[in-house]
Amino acid sequence: MKKLRRVVVTGMGALTPIGNNLPDYWENLEKGVSGAAPITKFNAEKFKTRFACEIKNLDVSQYIDKKEIRKMDPVVHYALITADEAMKMSGLDLEKINKERVGVIWGSGIGGITTFQQEVLEFAKGDGTPRFNPFFVPKMIIDMTCGMISMKYGFMGPNFSVVSACATSTHALIDAFYYIRWGKAEIIVSGGSEATVNESGIGGFNALKALSERNDSPQTASRPFDADRDGFVLGEGAGCLILEEYEHAKARGAKIYAEIVGGGATADAYHMTAPHPEGLGARNVMKEALADAELSPDKIDYINVHGTSTPLGDIAELKAIQALFGEHAYRMNISSTKSMTGHLLGAAGAVEALACILAVYKDIVPPTINQFKLDPNIDPRLNLTPNVAQKRKVNYALSNTFGFGGHNASIVLKKFED
């Protein structure tokens, strides 16, 4: 049997509602900055929710040729922008690596919904004659994200997309981790992107009664674990990680930021949109991730929870943590960075994995902001890192993501040691 190989992180890229690059993203996480504000992308006056966590001050033409921009949906723009930042950070020399051993595994929960909406609206305005953009299908399909990244850099290794709603990019990272671990690739560009702040995105989630309607105070609307939470805040953006086989990274003198040591995937098998009330699937996926990493629960220092700010989800996840970790649950830090970024859906896992990597690298836990009044159903002994970042030694971090359809994914990140 082949020996499993170590997998490390050598590059990162972020495009988020609180920072258009990795340093700005981390700085605002540490400061506890909210990315929520009134929607600017369309007239939301008639919608129940009129705010979101949008990307701000982004000029896509600074990153992508103007002729190419119109051939892609924003979900692909975001992917390419973060991949570019991560590639530069990694220091990879495209002339010296074997591109047949470099892959791209990327995800999006919804994909090119902006393109789909635009094309359908244009068709509906007409006389029924089909006049569709020739790029309609390529712009819309989810796998175009990883396809375009591979074409830009010439990477010919494993290349596919993952879709599991809000667990998507965590599943993508786990798949990338396994491919390198098993010797199927040396390097994989992995992550997720999402671009759903539009009429159909906001309207669809409003119809589900999933979004906060706190229009009078957008910045305080995402409030995980708070007694007065009323739903999540929709976000957009992307996160990218360069995963690399340890010996390959070491041989080229790469800077290593963290190591991935385990992953887990389970299903609730319970409900289309609601979590299992006792967090059974969440407990099982964390248990699976720890077993894969060969860790006992007391080794985890920090959990970046799914923590969307929904009444049912937050409670179920904390129940799962207490059931699995027992007394150690009170010695860990727990936080939801969605309180700042909003919920990036399929991109959430990658963006939150970046938060975990930097927490491990810097020994700082980002906060859960907007903690005003703890839900009385939550054990007050849990350290939810309320409102202010906390310094502590973080050797191991766990990142949770859960998606509609009952999909659960957890990944374990470790402080790198040679």
Estimate the share of the chain in helix, then strand, then coil, as percent rounded to the nearest 5.
35, 20, 40
Phi-psi domain of 226 (left: phi exceeds 0; alpha: psi -120 through 50; beta: other): beta
Backbone angles phi, psi at 291, to 5 degrees: -65, -40
The two beta strands, 258-267 and 187-194, are unpaired
Answer yes or no: are the C-beta atoms of 399 and 286 closer than 8 Å: no
Is residue 171 part of the annotated active site? The answer reads no
Dihedral, CA atoms, 119, 124, 125, 130, nearest 10 degrees? 70
Answer yes or no: are the C-beta atoms of 293 and 262 closer than 8 Å: yes
Closest CA to 201 of 339, 345, 69: 345
Q: Rounded CA gap, 94 and 148, in Å?
A: 16
Name residue 185's amino acid: A
Eight-class DSSP state of 267: E
- Taking each helix axis from N to C end, the angle separating 113-125 and 74-90, rounded to the nearest 10 degrees, works out to 160
Count the residues in the chain: 418
Answer yes or no: are the C-beta atoms of 28 and 53 closer than 8 Å: no
Closest CA to 72 of 141, 151, 26: 141
Closest CA to 235 of 150, 186, 166: 166
Give 314-379 as a DSSP string.
HHHHHHHHHHHHGGGGGTSEEE-THHHH-B-GGGHHHHHHHHHHHHHHHTEEPPB---SSB-TTS-
Which residue of the set 77, 276, 343, 407 is catalytic? 343
Which residue of the set 77, 171, 248, 306 is catalytic? 306
Is residue 166 part of the annotated active site? The answer reads yes
Is residue 77 part of the annotated active site? The answer reads no
3-state SS string for 242-257: EEEEHHHHHHCCCCCC
Which residue of the set 53, 77, 146, 166 is catalytic? 166
Eight-class DSSP state of 3: P
Residues identified as active-site: 166, 306, 343
